[in-house]
Structure 1
Amino acid sequence: MTTLAGLTLLMSGGSRGIGLAIATRAAQDGANVVLLAKTAEPQPRLEGTVHTAAAQIQEAGGQALAVVGDVRNDDDVTRAVDAAVDRFGGIDIVVNNASALDLRPTREIDMKKYDLMQDINARGTFLLSKTAIPHLERSAHAHVLTLSPPLDLRPKWAGAYLAYTMAKYGTSLVTLGLAEELREAGIAANSLWPRTTIATAAVANLLGGEEALAGSRTPAIMADAAYAVPVRDPRSCTGNFFVDEEVLAHEGVTDLEGYRTVPGSNRLEADLFLEPLESGA
């Protein structure tokens, strides 16, 4: 398959940032996009709502359905899955995009934030994927794409931010397990992670503000990479922990200058869970 036209994509989050960029790219093909997100009203530090995101998706050429809800809530997830099926007749692609981030060390992080990261990242990914499986089984082109890092069990990442590493690696384990469990059903499960930090609200608010944004790429690189995965045959493309640069290189895209937030800059920051970039990358 070379297009997502007519397919239905269910995403957690997606009101802004990487999720919205992925949804908008799919919409350019004429995909149907269902967003399950909490942000129903504008927030002081966050741009956009699930409703403004749905409007942008429709402007890009797709059909959109906004479902206000929380991926941590079983009933909300069931409602989103049912709404997607009722509106569009099924589900072909699940994108686990919703995430929570806190890099404080074990001594400092409170258990409320620990629970939040586990509930959104690991549990939310498991729950949304699980709930959609009966409908993915009916699709001829079923994919689960999760925004999570490659699994690297060297001590450095867990030692740097244990609580967050546990939550994100739990998310990656969903990919690892579902790829094997659902292989015979023809349902693909893959992860995607950015090589560099991406210019999002999380980077601006939690990882260093304007300086961090200057060393980042735009969400468009993740949107283009995320698009390239679910157009592939789900029976032959599963169980992968993709990095955006590698996906695009496979598609013949090696000039990534246009994705920089600061064109011509020599400075790019590696994202978490990946080794530093070579100087001048």
Structure 2
Amino acid sequence: MADLCGKTLFITGASRGIGLAIALRAAREGANIVIAAKSSVPRPGISGTIFTAADAIERAGGKALPIAVDIRDGDAIDAAVEKAVAHFGGVDICVNNASAINLGGTLAVNAKSHDLMHQINARGTYLVSRACLPHLLRSANPHVLALSPPPHMRPHWFGRFPAYALSKFGMSIYMMAMAEEFRAQGVAFNGLWPRTAIATAALGMGGEQSAGIVARRPEIMAEAACTIFKRDARACTGRFFLDDEVLWEAGHRDFDAYQDVPGMPLTLDLFVDRDAWTPPGVAIA
């Protein structure tokens, strides 16, 4: 596998959480990171801004370009991508990480919350991928990755939180569709999802549903994402990966290092069925 040195990654929501973990992992190999996120000033109770992320990325060995952008704004997305290309000379990898979450049922999710999830999750993925595509088509090994679940249409997931589920599956459907549309041009479109809960700020937004959850750290998603980016884009497209499955295929065997609370059985993430293949030695509650 080639390394990521000199590659330019455009990552939405990279000021914290999984997006920042992916950025830092790629930075350790000398990648250029475009931090496309709304967080330009500190907010109470929320850690990290595009500028603190940029500092961390450069300390890790990468080059950073922080850009304040709301991915609900199509013009702002286009301008951010053009700024990235002017600064780094192109885009090699697009990561659709930014996401909004509300795990309420139909009566609990109002129009504003519904629209926020669909504008950021599905629509944002479409617009960011679209804006990056002209530059990806000029890259030697272009990848687009969405942090979205395998598109298995299980009624029990949709029945629990219809608005959120549809917005996340919308991201997956765009990856499936674009993988087919751009297969001949050699641009990879894939989905990546955690097998277990991940210890990020979003975990706390589940309210009572988050109680008792045993999670892994975001670094497992970062390692899996960077493993995908090193694959041949023409041979690896239209796939929907679980994080530890990617790493198992790449020869990783020690998953305990990623566990937030050592020694405890892990909690399956949303949209992951209990009968899915699990690496040997991984305990699921």
- TM-score band, normalised by shorter chain: over 0.9
Per-residue Cα deviation, 1:68-113 (whole angstroms, up to 9, x for no partner): 0101111210111011100010000000000000011012210100
- Counterpart of 2:29? 29
Cα separation, 2, equivalents of 1:9 and 1:108: 37
| Aligned partner letter, 2:239 | N
Cα separation, 1, equivalents of 2:4 and 2:120: 27
Cα separation, 1, equivalents of 2:73 and 2:164: 20
Matches within 5 A, 1:17-56: 17-56=17-56
- Counterpart of 2:13? 13
Q: Residue 274 in 1 paired to residue 279 in 2?
A: no
Question: What percent of counterpart residues are identical?
Answer: 49
1:205, distance to aligned residue in structure 2 (A): 3.2
- Preserved contact between residue 203 and residue 209 of structure 1 (Cα < 8 Å): no
RMSD: 1.6
State the SS of the aligned residue for 1:18. Answer: helix
1:276, distance to aligned residue in structure 2 (A): 3.7
1:208, distance to aligned residue in structure 2 (A): 4.7
Q: TM-score, normalised by structure 2?
A: 0.94
- Counterpart of 1:227? 226
- Counterpart of 2:190? 190
- Counterpart of 1:111? 111
Q: Residue 140 in 1 paired to residue 140 in 2?
A: yes
Per-residue Cα deviation, 1:125-163 (whole angstroms, up to 9, x for no partner): 000000111101111110001100001112111111100
Contiguous gaps of at least 5 residues in structure 1? none
Cα separation, 2, equivalents of 1:120 and 1:41: 20
| Aligned partner letter, 1:142 | P
Matches within 5 A, 1:52-131: 52-131=52-131
1:204, distance to aligned residue in structure 2 (A): 2.1
1:13, distance to aligned residue in structure 2 (A): 0.7
- Counterpart of 2:206? 206
Cα separation, 2, equivalents of 1:101 and 1:45: 17
1:280, distance to aligned residue in structure 2 (A): 3.8
| Aligned partner letter, 2:24 | T
State the SS of the aligned residue for 1:229. Answer: helix
Contiguous gaps of at least 5 residues in structure 2? none
Per-residue Cα deviation, 1:222-267 (whole angstroms, up to 9, x for no partner): 01101100100000000000000100100111221111111122x2
| Aligned partner letter, 1:58 | E
- Preserved contact between residue 91 and residue 132 of structure 1 (Cα < 8 Å): yes
Off by >6 Å, runs of 4+ in structure 1: none
Q: Residue 240 in 1 paired to residue 239 in 2?
A: yes
- Counterpart of 1:258? 257
- Preserved contact between residue 269 and residue 276 of structure 1 (Cα < 8 Å): no
Structure-2 change in CA distance of 1:271 and 1:199 (3 Å): same
Cα separation, 1, equivalents of 2:161 and 2:72: 22
Cα separation, 2, equivalents of 1:168 and 1:250: 25
1:2, distance to aligned residue in structure 2 (A): 2.0
Cα separation, 1, equivalents of 2:98 and 2:71: 8
Q: Residue 159 in 1 paired to residue 174 in 2?
A: no
Structure-2 change in CA distance of 1:196 and 1:208 (3 Å): farther
Cα separation, 1, equivalents of 2:174 and 2:207: 26
Cα separation, 2, equivalents of 1:15 and 1:173: 26
Task: Say how many residue pairs are matched.
Answer: 279
